[in-house]
Amino acid sequence: MDTRWDVIVIGAGAAGLTAGIYLGRARKKTLILDHATVGGQMILTYAVANYPGVPETAGASIVQTMREQAEGVGCTVMGNADVLSVDLSGPDKVVEVDDEGTFTAPVVILATGGIPRRLGLPSEERFQARGISYCATCDGDFFTDQDIVVIGGGNSALEEAVSLTTYASSVTVIHEFEEFQAQPWAVAEAEKNPKVRFLTNQEVVEFAGESSLSAVVTRDKRTGELVRTEASGAFLFIGYVPNTGWLEGVVKLNERGEIVTDEDLRTDVLGVFAAGDARVKRYRQITTAVADGTVAALSAIAHLTELERAAAA
Amino acid sequence: MLRTNLNHVQSTAEFNSLLSGGGKAAIVCGRMGPMCIPVYGVMENLETKYPDVKFFDMEFDAPVARETIRRLPEVQGFYGLPFTVYLKDGRVVHATGGIQSKAQVKEILDAKVN
C-alpha cells in the first residue's frame, strides 16, 4: 500500500466518510482509517429515521452506501486500523498504524467520533456480556421474562426501556436526577407502559452477582440510603464521550476533551482539521456529522491548493 | 447464512470435526447486529496475520449453534452477542461474550491460541 497521501482521515463514521467523498471527487488521494469497524456509531444504530432523503433504514445500510461512495471516488478505506502514534506538528503529518505501517500526508482530518460513556465501576467491567449490555436490539431477547434495569435518562434510555418490555417482565429505569433529559414524548411513552417503573435520584454504586448479574445497587441521592434492585440485565444508555484521549497534547482540546476548531473546522495545528462528534459542538447527529465532513474536506482542499500555489511560486 | 467474508460453520459435524481435528480456530457465533458485525470485521482483518488459525462464523439462531456453541459450559452466563470461542488441541481454550476490539482479539490469540 502507498505510504504517501494527500489527506489522511482518521475516523470512518459519517463525518470521515463524507469528507472522503468530497476529497475523492476533488481527486485528492485519500486514506480513511478507523480503529474499529467502518461506520462509527452509525453502524450501531438499529434504525435511522431522520436522515433526509432516505426513508427509515438501518444505520448499517447508510454506512454501506457511504463507504461505496467513498471507495467509488478513489478513497482507500481501512477498518480495524489501530493508530499507534501520530506526529501532526510538522508540514508532513505522520500516522503509524498497527500491522500496516507508517503513512504521511500534508493534511489530516480528525473524525474520531465518540465512544459510549461508562460508569467506571470495577463491577461494570466484570459483568459485561454477563448481564450488562449497551445494545437492546442485540441482547434484549436474552432477558425474556426476566427483570432488568435501564440506566440513563435521555431519549435512548427511555425509548430502549420501552422496546425492552417486548422481552422483559419488568424494566426499571434508573436515573441520577429527578427530571429526565429525554423529550417529553419519550418520557410519556415510558410512563404509560405498565412494565416500566422509575427510580430517580439514584447513583449506581455497584453491579452485584456471581457468574452473571443479579442486582444493581444504587444510592439515593436525597437520603444516602442504599437501594438494591434485583435484575439479571442492565442496559446502559448514558451518552457518549469524545474519542480524543489519545489527542491530548496533539491538538487543542476543551475541558470535556472535545477538539477545538474554528468555523472552517481548522484545529490549532496547521493542516489539521476536525469533524463530527469529536469536536466542540452542541448537536450530534448523523446530519451534523455529514455537514462537518463536508466543511472539513472543503477546508482541507483549500489548504492543499494554498500549499500547491506556495510551492509553485 | 451470515453475510461475512469468513468461512461458515453450518453443521454440527463441521464443528465437531474442527474441535476433534485439534487445530487452531476462532468461531464467532452471532447475528448481523451492531455488536456482531465489528467482530466479524476484526476476524476478517486478522485472517492473513494469523495463517495458522482458521477463522469462522456461525449463525446464532441456526440449529448448529444450539447444538454446539450455545451448549458449551464456557458460554453459560453469557448475555451478550456475539459468543466467540477459540479452539486449540481439541478443546475450547477461551470464550468471550459481546463486542471485542482487534487489540482484545489479538491478545487472546497470542496468549491462548498461538
Model pLDDT for residues A259-277, shown as the tens digit of each residue: 999 999 999 999 999 999 9
* Mean pLDDT value across residues A223-252: 96
d(CA A12, CA A111): 7
In the predicted model, what is the mean pLDDT of chain A? 95
State the pLDDT confidence band at A1, using cuts at 50, 70 and 90: confident
| A138 part of the active site | yes
Is the CB of residue A111 less than 8 Å from the CB of residue A275?
yes
**pLDDT at site B80:** 94
Please judge whether B34 and A46 are an interchain contact, meaning their C-beta atoms are less than 8 angstroms apart.
yes
What fold is seen in the domain B7-113? Glutaredoxin (3.40.30)
**pLDDT at site A37:** 85
Residue A212: pLDDT over 90? yes
d(CA A85, CA B16): 43
**CA A231 to the chain's CA centroid:** 27
* Mean pLDDT value across residues A231-252: 95
E strands, chain A, where? Answer: 7-10, 30-33, 76-78, 83-87, 93-97, 101-105, 107-110, 114-116, 132-133, 147-151, 170-174, 196-199, 202-209, 213-220, 226-230, 233-236, 240-242, 272-274
d(CA A155, CA A224): 27
State the pLDDT confidence band at B34, using cuts at 50, 70 and 90: confident
**Sign of dihedral through CA atoms B27, B31, B32, B38?**
negative
Share of chain A above pLDDT 70, in %: 100
> Is the CB of residue A99 less than 8 Å away from at least one CB of chain B?
yes
**pLDDT at site A41:** 86
Gap from A129 CA to chain B (nearest CA, Å): 4
State the pLDDT confidence band at A137, using cuts at 50, 70 and 90: confident
**pLDDT at site A111:** 98
Amino acid at A281: K
Residue where the block lists cell 456461525: B58
Domain A7-116+240-312 falls under CATH 3.50.50.60: yes
**pLDDT at site A46:** 74
Domain A122-236 is in which class? Answer: alpha beta
> Is the CB of residue B78 less than 8 Å away from at least one CB of chain A?
yes
d(CA A106, CA A270): 9
Determine phi and psi for B38, rounding to 5 degrees. Answer: -60, -35
> Which residue from B minimizes the CA distance to A45?
B34
Q: CB count, 10 Å around CB of B9?
A: 25
At A164-202, the pLDDT tens digits run 999 999 999 999 999 999 999 999 999 999 999 999 999
CATH 3.50.50.60 residue spans of chain A: 7-116+240-312, 122-236
Please judge whether A43 and B38 are an interchain contact, meaning their C-beta atoms are less than 8 angstroms apart.
yes
**pLDDT at site A188:** 97
Taking the domains of chain B in order of start, what are their residue ranges? 7-113
3-state percent breakdown (helix, strand, coil) of chain B, nearest 5: 40, 25, 35
User: Which of A1, A33, A34, A37 has the most B C-beta neighbours within 10 Å, making it the best mutation to test the interface with B?
Assistant: A37
Q: All 3 cell numbers of residue A196? A: 416500566
